[in-house]
């Protein structure tokens, strides 16, 4: 059943609408899948499609309610812009919102109220257009206890726990987590693109979470054990030291040895390699640059340092 969460008249003809698809069968828990807060991050679109299709095909296997919100920043999604067009505003800095505020604050308040009380919420993001990320869940230390057991069930490759000092209180996930509604932030793939493999992987993860919650009777492939990157673990950021074009030679998710090249910066006019970007320590390359053009300081990749690989 398609429901309107928000419906507002825009100045002349159009209507601003945020919709969700509620798929319900029998009694049970409630899970929400939210995506499109950042309009240029499309990986979640494919997950919404796959999940809705599976649930529509076999509704009798569902016990409870799955609510799918593919485009909570609809103007952003339609124009593939990160923020809310016309407001020059990052929607994920507008939460928890306000009943009496401007339209963006009102919308934020409605969204939080709508998802509040769910047994689990997935807030699916992609990376930006510059970097590719392995499928991962990001958790703030503040909500570790509530979220980590759930995150481990979600079939992601990586869980990154951030220190409490980096918490952003104006995000959708923080607003829900702070009122006790568990919300997992997924980051995967790359901006403006969809990655079939990652979409399927997360869809299986969501079904697996549903199964552990007693919401799903269907078969689910075994989930992978994620690598845990704790707040005190060492993460190295690789940056370009010059301007040029970057070609990656390692894929995201590769284990790299100290001194190993992950890519190089070249000068197309002169036919020269300007820099080989190498791993400063051995570990897991969980982020790699996708966007070729680099300037001095551009982020090339991130490595989780693995102590067991240092010898």
Q: Which stretch binds Zn ion (CB under 5 A): 31-39, 69-77, 138-146, 303-311?
A: 31-39
Cβ 240 vs Cβ 267: under 8 Å: no
> Minimal distance in Å, beta carbon 34 to Zn ion?
11
DSSP state letter for 152: T
How far apart are the C-alpha atoms of 68 and 33, rounded to whole Å? 5
Contacting residue, 30, 38, 109, 289, with Zn ion by CB under 5 A: 38
Q: Which is nearer to Zn ion, 131 or 207 (CB)?
A: 131
> What is the per-residue binding string for Zn ion in 222-251, x denoting contact by CB under 5 A?
------------------------------
Beta-carbon contacts of 112 under 8 Å, excluding residues fewer than 6 positions away, are 95, 96, 97, 172, 175, 176
Strands 29-35 and 131-140 turn out to be: unpaired
C-alpha dist (Å) from residue 43 to 31, 115, 307:
19, 21, 32
Structure tokens given for 200: 């399927």
Q: Which stretch binds Zn ion (CB under 5 A): 18-26, 102-110, 118-126, 229-237?
A: 118-126
Q: Which is nearer to Zn ion, 38 or 208 (CB)?
A: 38
Helix (H, G, I), strand (E, B) or coil at 18: strand
Structure tokens given for 243: 């301007």
- Residues forming beta bridges with residue 21, ordered by sequence position: 2, 68
Contacting residue, 30, 125, 138, 289, with Zn ion by CB under 5 A: 125
> What is the per-residue binding string for Zn ion in 41-70, x denoting contact by CB under 5 A?
x-----------------------------
**Residue 210 host element (H or E):** helix 196-212
Q: Which stretch binds Zn ion (CB under 5 A): 37-45, 83-91, 148-156, 227-235?
A: 37-45
How far apart are the C-alpha atoms of 24 and 230, rounded to whole Å? 36
> What is the per-residue binding string for Zn ion in 63-102, x denoting contact by CB under 5 A?
----------------------------------------
> Minimal distance in Å, beta carbon 98 to Zn ion?
22
Q: What is the dihedral of CA 116, 201, 127, 309, to 10 degrees?
A: 120
> Minimal distance in Å, beta carbon 97 to Zn ion?
18
Q: Which is nearer to Zn ion, 46 or 264 (CB)?
A: 46
Task: Return the number of other C-beta atoms located less than 10 Å from residue 117's C-beta.
Answer: 13
Residue number closest to Zn ion, CB atom:
125
Q: Which stretch binds Zn ion (CB under 5 A): 99-107, 124-132, 225-233, 286-294?
A: 124-132
> Minimal distance in Å, beta carbon 291 to Zn ion?
16
> Minimal distance in Å, beta carbon 194 to Zn ion?
14
| Among 309, 293, 311, CA closest to 129 | 293
Residue 138, interface with Zn ion (CB under 5 A)?
no
Task: Return the number of other C-beta atoms located less than 10 Å from residue 49's C-beta.
Answer: 15
Beta-carbon contacts of 178 under 8 Å, excluding residues fewer than 6 positions away, are 169
Structure tokens given for 26: 């029998």
Q: Which stretch binds Zn ion (CB under 5 A): 33-41, 231-239, 253-261, 277-285?
A: 33-41
How many residues belong to the site for Zn ion (CB under 5 A)?
3
> Minimal distance in Å, beta carbon 258 to Zn ion?
32
The residues binding Zn ion (CB under 5 A) are 38, 41, 125
């Amino acid at each position: 059943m398609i429901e309107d969460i928000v419906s507002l008249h825009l100045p002349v003809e159009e209507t601003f609408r945020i919709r969700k698809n509620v798929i319900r069968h029998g009694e049970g828990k409630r899970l929400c899948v939210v995506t499109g807060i950042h309009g240029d991050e499309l990986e979640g679109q494919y997950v919404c499609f796959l999940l809705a299709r599976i649930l529509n095909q076999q509704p009798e296997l569902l016990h409870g309610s799955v609510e799918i919100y593919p485009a909570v920043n609809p103007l952003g999604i339609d124009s593939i812009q990160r923020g809310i067009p016309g407001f020059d505003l990052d929607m994920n800095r507008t939460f928890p919102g306000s009943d009496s505020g401007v339209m963006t604050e009102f919308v934020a308040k409605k969204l939080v109220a709508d998802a509040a009380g769910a047994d689990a919420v997935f807030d699916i993001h992609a990376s930006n257009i510059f970097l590719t990320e392995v499928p991962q869940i990001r958790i703030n230390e503040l909500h570790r206890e509530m979220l980590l057991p759930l995150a481990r069930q979600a079939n992601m490759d990586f869980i990154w726990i951030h220190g409490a000092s980096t918490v952003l209180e104006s995000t959708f996930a923080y607003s829900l987590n702070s009122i006790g509604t568990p919300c997992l932030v997924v980051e995967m793939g790359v901006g403006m693109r969809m990655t079939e493999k990652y979409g399927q992987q997360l869809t299986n993860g969501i079904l697996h979470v549903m199964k552990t919650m007693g919401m799903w009777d269907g078969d689910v492939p075994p989930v992978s054990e994620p690598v845990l990157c704790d707040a005190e673990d060492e993460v190295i950021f690789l940056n370009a030291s010059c301007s040029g074009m970057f070609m990656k030679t390692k894929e995201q998710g590769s284990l790299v040895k100290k001194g190993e090249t992950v890519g190089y910066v070249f000068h197309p006019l002169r036919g020269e390699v300007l820099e080989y970007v190498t791993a400063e320590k051995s570990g897991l390359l969980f982020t790699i640059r996708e966007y070729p053009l680099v300037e001095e300081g551009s982020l090339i990749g991130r490595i989780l340092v693995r102590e067991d690989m240092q010898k």
